[in-house]
A and B are shown apart, each in its own frame.
Chain A
Amino acid sequence: MNHQPFEDWLLEDEALTIQQERELQIHLRSCTTCAAIASSNLALHSRRLIAPPPGFTDRFRPRLVDWRREQLRRQALGTIVLVLAGLGLLYAVAGPAMLQAVQSPAAWLTKVTTYLLSLFTFLSVFGHVGGILLRTLPSLVPPSAWLVVLVAGCALGALWIVSMRRLARAPQGV
């Protein structure tokens, strides 16, 4: 039996014209397959919302309170673990230095001063070399290369902005 276009009309389940409705009714008298889809559609249209048993909100409140309590407990536990880990790390890293500072303050002070002086010297030499490079490099690189670097930088920047916008879009649902 040819079910078309009646089967499509039923599967689309959209409003039909009076003429289409008449043709469909004639087809349904002789086609059990389409009649079953029509009956099932009719049952879907006679649906009814089911409400929860009374007191749903009252049953929800304690669950929310329990969840909040659990959140607080986890936060407190997290803070304690973080503080303890921080103290442990501090003890492991700074413990020997503090012990040395307490035992012989003069030696410790000399060591720290030497370290700071060498760091300062390194930084000033690094700045000096950097300055020389900055003054000489622009004249060595052709302008077309600078243009390529600029365009590549702009493209990467645009890509970063687009990616951040997509990632930052608030996800819906959970």
Chain B
Amino acid sequence: MKDESSLVVQAQHGSEEAFTELVEAYQTHVYNLCYRMLGETEFAEDASQETFLRAFQHLHRYDHGRPFGTWLLSIAAHYCIDRLRRRRFSFTSMDQDDDGGGLELPDADAPNPELETVRHEQREQMQSFLQQLNAVDRSAIVLRYWHDYSEAEIADTLHLTVSAVKSRLHRARRELGSLWQEEGIRSNQKRRPHESPAF
């Protein structure tokens, strides 16, 4: 790929080719954020495409002093947050259509397949817990762990103060922890009826 800033300049002058190269470079980051936020591949695809389209429309607003990736993820995060808010107020929940069709599959070639399967299950579980968090908290967690953003970068992306990001991350981790605990208790209760009466 050519130098990113020169691609951005070319795209700002209307070059679709340059912008397509940027799409190619950032598609995984944007798609992953949308998927983690919206929870379904179909919505994630649509939201990522919309993110890139909005980025192209508003390229003239992009400040070159800021990383392009942060700007893109900011657009994606705000788009997903808006969409989740609208979803909350709509009568037909999109969650009802959930086919659970994520593309995350366990790595069969991993050196320890058993451990990989456990990790895969944990990731799946985490994905379902994420959907229960508040939209902004969710985006802060996704940016922190999936995109390795610092608290300052998250604040910049979500237009929050650093202390607000800290408290949101704090709250989200506590909530995820309690969801994790509840799930643990539930799965223990499910297992108990099948256990031998001797125990």
The one of B49, B74, B119 in contact with A63, judged by C-beta atoms closer than 8 angstroms, is B49
- Asked whether B78 lies within 8 Å of A49 as measured between CB atoms, the reply is no
Q: Choose, from B2-10, B20-28, B86-94, B190-198, the stretch at the interface.
A: B20-28
Count of chain B residues with a beta carbon within 8 Å of a chain A beta carbon: 57
Interface flag for B85 (CB, 8 Å)? no
Taken residue by residue from 19 to 55, chain B's Cβ proximity to chain A (1 for < 8 Å, 0 otherwise) reads as 1100110011101100110000100110011001111
Beyond contacts A11-B174, A56-B48, A174-B78: 13 other A-B pairs, Cβ-Cβ < 8 A, are: A13-B169, A33-B181, A40-B126, A40-B177, A44-B126, A44-B141, A48-B104, A49-B32, A50-B32, A50-B35, A64-B56, A172-B62, A174-B61
Interface residues of A (CB under 8 A from B): 10-13, 32-33, 36-37, 39-53, 56-57, 59-61, 63-64, 67, 170-174
A sample of 26 cross-chain residue pairs with beta-carbon separation below 8 angstroms, ordered by A number, consists of A11-B173, A11-B174, A13-B169, A33-B178, A39-B180, A40-B173, A43-B119, A43-B126, A46-B122, A47-B123, A47-B126, A48-B123, A51-B31, A51-B103, A52-B31, A53-B45, A56-B49, A57-B20, A57-B27, A61-B20, A64-B19, A170-B61, A172-B61, A172-B62, A174-B78, A174-B79
